[in-house]
Amino acid sequence: MPKTTISVIKADVGSFPGHSRTHPKLLEKAAKMLKEQRGKLLIDSFVTHCGDDLELIMTHAHGVDNVNVHKLAWDVFMECTKIAKSMKLYGAGQDMLSDAFSGNVRGLGPGVAEMEFEERGSDPVLIFMADKTEPGAWNFFLYKIFADPFNTAGLVIDPSMHEGFVFEVHDVIKKRRITFKCPEETYTLLSYIGACSRYVIKYVYRKDGIIAASTSTEKLNLTAGRYVGKDDPVMIVRAQSGLPSVGEVIEPFCTPTIVAGWMRGSHHGPFMPVGVCDANMTRFDGPPRCICLGFQICNGELIGPADMFDDVGFDRVRARCNELADMIRNQGPFEPHRLSLEEMEYTTLPGIEKQFRTRWEPIGE
């Protein structure tokens, strides 16, 4: 049985107005370039955007980290950058940190989540895409989906999930990884993933090895060595038949969480689940938000999408996120609305420090 690979590769290559949303001309160009590869390099594809991020969803039979698939994504971003530059869109080519492709888009600016699996009798997949936040934003949700029996009834009721799940966590600062088994190592897992700016869940597996989730963990500012904007991560989650159901996967998004990102990548703010029609950044360049597209995978074909957060069931969390936004915005430039000093090091703030370096005088012991 040939395996199917899903590759979700994204980049901000220009937007309008400011960092608000992707221009339809970029979406058209990207969709056309991917469709030309249907039946050749790719089995199927779907193009969308979340805020200023252009999202390429591709299925194929070539496994993860495939040079040709990554090159295709790179070429799409390069062509879209050209269009963005010709229209003087804002931040044209923003995430393209290199002029040349070198075998893999990892480390060159774009974010990547991929997974390869043998299709089950029926394989529902949910693709999450976020803007104005960082990869660790998914930690809370992945924990709730795969390790919290108060969220996922199947952990209690479905015998095939009783053994629990394995979480692969990446330390994005020290570039190392570790795996934790849940439920037995739940507390240790939480002690790391609660620090979402550094410890990020990369993959989740069922204990028998079936892959259940994959995220993008690229940190733009660490890659570039300077402030470029937030990473705006993506995530792929498989559902049903011995994995959490579609409803269990999206249920944690009914809880408003506070994430890092928002204005200038420097503020904490509510993470709002929205339908694709609302995936445009407005208030204070945000608030940070995410979309979720649901597909059935059929021999690599993407059957769908269903716009999962375009539903009245998520109206309440959106209203609560707006209330949180009002509250936290009142704090203006004060922490904890503004990120901690340590995290501000990866923004434009160090420029101020440089400017006033000589004005500081010692005050003695």
Should residue 21 be labelled a site residue for ligand F6R when binding is judged by CB under 6 A? no
Shortest distance, position 70 Cβ to ligand F6R, whole Å? 24
109 binds, among Mg ion, ligand F6R, none (CB under 5 to 8 A by kind): none
Size, binding site for ligand F6R by CB under 6 A: 9
| Residue among 110 and 229 whose Cβ is closer to ligand F6R | 229
d(C-alpha 312, C-alpha 90), whole Å: 33
Should residue 202 be labelled a site residue for ligand F6R when binding is judged by CB under 6 A? no
**What's the one-letter identity of residue 283?**
R
Contact 247, 152 (CB under 8 A): no
Q: What is the 3-state secondary structure (H, E, C) of 142-199?
A: HHHHHHCCCCCCHHHHCHHHCCCEEEEEEECCCCEEEEEEECCCHHHHHHHHCCCCCE
d(C-alpha 12, C-alpha 273), whole Å: 20
Query: Which one of the spans 45-53, 96-104, 117-125, 145-153 is the region binding Mg ion (CB under 5 A)?
Result: 45-53
285 binds, among Mg ion, ligand F6R, none (CB under 5 to 8 A by kind): ligand F6R
Question: Which tokens go with 287?
Answer: 């608030």
d(C-alpha 296, C-alpha 256), whole Å: 28
Should residue 134 be labelled a site residue for ligand F6R when binding is judged by CB under 6 A? no
Following CA atoms 300, 307, 51, 226 in sequence, which dihedral angle do they give, to the nearest 10 degrees?
-50
Should residue 307 be labelled a site residue for Mg ion when binding is judged by CB under 5 A? no
Within the chain, residue ranges assigned H as helices are 24-35, 67-86, 137-147, 154-157, 186-193, 220-224, 246-250, 315-329, 341-344, 350-355
d(C-alpha 108, C-alpha 181), whole Å: 32
Shortest distance, position 348 Cβ to Mg ion, whole Å? 14
Residues 50-89 that bind Mg ion (CB under 5 A): 52-53
d(C-alpha 348, C-alpha 365), whole Å: 31
At residue 232, the 3 state secondary structure works out as coil
Query: Which one of the spans 67-75, 119-127, 157-165, 261-269 is the region binding ligand F6R (CB under 6 A)?
Result: 261-269
User: From the list 6, 10, 13, 19, which residue makes contact with ligand F6R (rule: CB under 6 A)?
Assistant: 19
Interaction mask 279-308, ligand F6R, x per CB under 6 A: ------x-----------------------
Shortest distance, position 339 Cβ to ligand F6R, whole Å? 12
User: From the list 49, 132, 206, 238, which residue makes contact with ligand F6R (rule: CB under 6 A)?
Assistant: 132
User: From the list 265, 270, 273, 304, which residue makes contact with ligand F6R (rule: CB under 6 A)?
Assistant: 265
d(C-alpha 201, C-alpha 169), whole Å: 4
Should residue 114 be labelled a site residue for Mg ion when binding is judged by CB under 5 A? no
Indicate which residues carry an active-site annotation: 12, 227, 230
d(C-alpha 255, C-alpha 314), whole Å: 10
Surface-to-core class of residue 113, CB atoms within 10 Å of its CB (0-12 exposed, 13-18 middle, 19+ buried) = buried
Shortest distance, position 288 Cβ to ligand F6R, whole Å? 9
Query: Which one of the spans 128-136, 238-246, 309-317, 321-329 is the region binding Mg ion (CB under 5 A)?
Result: 128-136
Should residue 229 be labelled a site residue for ligand F6R when binding is judged by CB under 6 A? yes
Shortest distance, position 318 Cβ to ligand F6R, whole Å? 20
18 binds, among Mg ion, ligand F6R, none (CB under 5 to 8 A by kind): ligand F6R
264 binds, among ligand F6R, Mg ion, none (CB under 5 to 8 A by kind): ligand F6R
Surface-to-core class of residue 9, CB atoms within 10 Å of its CB (0-12 exposed, 13-18 middle, 19+ buried) = buried
Shortest distance, position 286 Cβ to ligand F6R, whole Å? 7
At residue 228, the 3 state secondary structure works out as coil
Should residue 14 be labelled a site residue for ligand F6R when binding is judged by CB under 6 A? no
Kindly list the residues in this chain that would bind ligand F6R in the complex (CB under 6 A).
18-19, 132, 229-230, 263-265, 285
Kindly list the residues in this chain that would bind Mg ion in the complex (CB under 5 A).
12, 19, 52-53, 91, 131, 232
